[in-house]
Structure 1
Amino acid sequence: MKEATVAPTYARFDYIVIGGGTSGCALAATLSHNANVLVLERGSSPYDNPTAMDKENLINTLVNVTPNSWSQPFISEDGVYNIRARVLGGDSVLNAGFYSRAEKDYVEEAEWEMEKVEAAYEWVERKLVFEPQVMGWQSAFKNGLLEAGVIPYNGFTYDHINGTKIGRYDLRRSWP
């Protein structure tokens, strides 16, 4: 990894991937087996500070919105305060590894081709996503959400649906 300011003024790549999120990293890793690939990511690397990804530091990582942090605050179009990632690995680095598909209404509103979207999801899920073994702290977290009224409990699913669910991905599985 290098800062863009120290990159050579001329370089040749077979592919340039914009965004080092869940899909961008998996795509770049796959393409790099047979091609030269450049990944452009606006944020830093989560590997610079591995303790920030520890479950004990989840809240601290989310609330740290200083200019060099992984979390960037924003307000959605409907006025909801939220956090998005500015780090290699994307939002999945910040959200405890949860992965979900976009709602069908979102895909339609974005005017994306549903067949291509489905194919992309299937590719990412083959490369990255797996059903986790639920550990004690995850059960406690899930039970806390349910007790706080985040219902219904939806179990393990890739669908982006309201309620409490279990989801996980492991970006490292995509790298050789």
Structure 2
Amino acid sequence: MPATLIAEHVASVALPDPAVQVEDLSNGERAVALYASDMPARYRVSRGDLALLTFWIVQGAARLGLDELYRSAAYASGYRRLRAAGWATPEQDAAHACRFSSASRLERAERLAAVVTYRVAMTPEARERGRRTLVERACDCAGTGWAAFDMGDGTDALQACPGHNPNGHAVLGAGVTA
């Protein structure tokens, strides 16, 4: 992982890439880009700051590169789903903390990304990418998308993994889902 997500920045290392458009980024990607940008840790949005926020998003996206930005946003999404469902393991907690060392900065970046998303639409491709989840480290489902749990009466049932199978699609065989 680039050090950009671990250390806070005091100066811009490069001018933002004009080829990166905020409209082409999902809300999660916008949040990760803000996290990696020169945005001050305690920044508070004010009326008329949309241009500054979009500048930081483009700056963070250029700093990380689009592939890493997409991957980090998908990991953040997968972890958020696992944590919300009570499925996050200590190893996943550690991986997330390593990727995003400042929880308060990430929370602020997510809130500010939502402000931008309210004002700046995203392309259908970005919206689709925003639904993507990835899981770092071992998962209770072992990557299958399903894990057994005790029903309380001695029988086991399968539960969809919120990180690997967030939509709960049943596998019917030969890769077909219902």
Q: TM-score, normalised by structure 1?
A: 0.26
> Whose strand fraction is larger, Structure 1's or Structure 2's?
1
Q: TM-score, normalised by structure 2?
A: 0.26
Larger RCO: 1 or 2 (CA < 8 Å, sep 6+): 2
> Whose helix fraction is larger, Structure 1's or Structure 2's?
2
